[in-house]
Amino acid sequence: MPRWFVAVLAAPPAVFLVVFYAAPFLTLLARGVVVDEVGDVLGRRRTWEVAWFTTWQATASTVLTLVVGIAPAYVVARFRFVGRRLLLGLLTAVFVLPTVVMGAAFSALLPASLDRSIWAILAAHVVFNLAVVVRTVGAVWERLPPDLEAAAATLGASPWRVLREVTLPLLRPALTAAGAIVFLFTFTSFGVIRILGTAARPTLEVEIWRRATQLGEIGPAAVLAIIQLVALGVVVGWSTYSQRRHSLAIAMRPATVTLRAARRARRRRERILVGLTATATAAVVTVPLLALVERSMRSDDGYSLRAWRTLGDAEVRRGISVSVDPLGSLVRSIQTAAWATALAVGIGAVAALAIAAAGRLGRALDTGLMLPIGTSAVTIGFGMLITFDTPPIDWRAEWWIVPVGHALVAVPFVVRVTLGVLRALDPELIDAAATLGASPTRAWREITLPNLWRPLVVGAGLAAAISLGEFGATSFLSRSGQETMPIAIERLLGRTGTVIQAQGYALAVMLAAATIAIVLAVDVTGDITGDVSGRRGRRRQKSKAAHARGR
């Protein structure tokens, strides 16, 4: 590709990144590092209470998730059984659900007395993040030779001591990695807390939102955002350091030995253990979703489809109307997702082409486009809100600001998937086409282009799923009367009235179904992509799909 053309390709994504990510981020920093403001915020007792609650609920969630996840991780890693793949699929499906849906599911499941308690929050966090522990720890456990444990047993170690002296020390890097991810997710928990928490006990993320949008305290909110940023940096740094220190176990298994550790359960005790663990895990992740469906059909006089039938009716009962229009939010979400997807795919595609063709500058663009994944959605939304607020760039009321925010989060996924396929393409194919008389443009059209549509379809699916479930940034950017589904769900569940709440649950059911359907479709398409990009690309993509939630 000629250099000028690469520059032309790279320009739109670069401009997009600078205007909608870098500028808002810097504006936020500038608002947050004002000495007086910082001193004021740090001097308030409330700040420390919020920071303390954020930290301890994240720590408790992480420890609980690790404890609960260890048994299913063991069973999945060590045994082949009927429904094993289904169980893993279920866990992943729950993991990619929008945060608001997860909050709604536990709000539906738990009795009113527990609904807005810390127990509801912890339970939701554990179920939500179980997949992280089971997959991360299970993958390492699967590679751990069972004979290592057998050797310990022949040396006189009881099963309990084998676990303590051999298995757990070797799983430690995986446990640390999984723990760090769960901690990051729960420390920045927003959607779940907005639904299950109370005003008295918010996380930093929720407090930023409350100060900025409910109380209009932009400065203090910006300071909190920076405190959160620093805390996250510390956690990421610590986990990277700790994993490097304990990395010996990774090199433990020589690649040449392809011993299949997993087997059928032989002993009766093993069969009971496998059966019980698998069933319990499946129940833990499905019951909240079933509760969601059940509550959507509950009305004052038994079960009915009334909530579903009246979705289009803003007036729930004669004279009682809610300011939220459920059916309208559905339509708006679909429109928003369509625009966000188009934008993300367009920008992601040209960015991937430019990155693949350019050298060092390409890598810079690649890194830059990845940054929004590492930034909390609330920070992104907040930054945009306070940057585009003065004429001539007062864009807060523009209809396209929400899709732009969603696209910002979705572009990295499109880029990764597309780049994977582009890099897997054998450059000699282009050479071969040239020797057969194809001009460079023609060769590109004949060889590269036909291979691009699949990653772009996958990327589009991911972008749509992200946009449909996005709650953090949207909380800042959406206007009243212009709610997307997640916003509408949160509003509806916050009201009293069985039918109104049932409508919220009905919306959550639809959102959950749509997300799971899209992710399943992406998974199937990803399978077909395997013949171009190889297995590597597919696996990467999967973890991306898993990453897509949280926003």
Partner 1 sequence: MLEVGEVTVAFDGTTVLDHVSISVAEREVVALLGPSGSGKSTLLRVIAGLLVPDAGTVAVDGTDVSALATHLRRVGMVFQDEQLFPHRDVAANIGFGLKMAGTAAPARARRVAELLDLVGLAGFGHRRVTELSGGEAKRVALARSLAPEPLVLLLDEPLTGLDRELHDRLEGEVAAVLRSTGITAVWVTHDRDEADAVADRIITLS
**Out of 60, 114, 118, 157, which residue is the one contacting partner 1 (CB under 8 A)?**
157
Q: CB atoms < 10 A from the CB of 48, how many?
A: 11
> Which residues partner with 315 through β-bridges?
321
- Asked if residue 99 lies in contact with residue 121, where contact means CB atoms within 8 angstroms, the answer is no
> Does an H or E element contain 295, and which?
helix 268-296
CB of 200 to partner 1, least distance (A): 45
**Is 155 near partner 1 (CB under 8 A)?**
yes
DSSP class of residue 263? Answer: B
**Is 257 near partner 1 (CB under 8 A)?**
yes
**Is 80 near partner 1 (CB under 8 A)?**
no
**What DSSP string describes 188-223?**
T--HHHHHH--TTS--HHHHHHIIIIIS--HHHHHH
- Asked if residue 336 lies in contact with residue 403, where contact means CB atoms within 8 angstroms, the answer is yes
* CA–CA gap between residue 17 and residue 343 (Å, rounded): 13
**Is 245 near partner 1 (CB under 8 A)?**
no
The one segment of 150-158, 377-385, 497-505, 532-540 that binds partner 1 by CB under 8 A: 150-158
CB of 180 to partner 1, least distance (A): 20
Smaller CB distance to partner 1: residue 147 or 394?
A: 147
**Is 153 near partner 1 (CB under 8 A)?**
yes
**Out of 2, 156, 359, 392, which residue is the one contacting partner 1 (CB under 8 A)?**
156
Helices H, strands E: what count in the chain?
Answer: 26, 6
Smaller CB distance to partner 1: residue 155 or 320?
A: 155
Q: Which two tokens stand for residue 137?
A: 């720890």
**Is 494 near partner 1 (CB under 8 A)?**
no
**Is 256 near partner 1 (CB under 8 A)?**
no
CB of 164 to partner 1, least distance (A): 11
**Is 261 near partner 1 (CB under 8 A)?**
no
* CA–CA gap between residue 409 and residue 386 (Å, rounded): 18
**Is 161 near partner 1 (CB under 8 A)?**
yes
Kindly tell me the sign of the dihedral angle through the C-alpha atoms of 381, 104, 549, 406. Answer: negative
Smaller CB distance to partner 1: residue 248 or 397?
A: 248
Rg (CA), the chain: 25
**Is 252 near partner 1 (CB under 8 A)?**
yes
How far is residue 372 from each of residues 22, 154, 251, measured CA to CA in Å?
Answer: 10, 52, 32
The one segment of 12-20, 165-173, 303-311, 493-501 that binds partner 1 by CB under 8 A: 165-173
Smaller CB distance to partner 1: residue 151 or 524?
A: 151
**Out of 113, 154, 390, 435, which residue is the one contacting partner 1 (CB under 8 A)?**
154
* CA–CA gap between residue 458 and residue 454 (Å, rounded): 6
Polymer length in residues for the chain? 551
**Is 272 near partner 1 (CB under 8 A)?**
no
**Out of 249, 364, 425, 452, which residue is the one contacting partner 1 (CB under 8 A)?**
249
Site size for partner 1 (CB under 8 A): 25
Residue given tokens 């030995």 in the structure block: 257
Chain contacts with partner 1 (rule: CB under 8 A): 145, 147-148, 150-159, 161, 165-166, 169-170, 248-249, 251-252, 257, 266-267
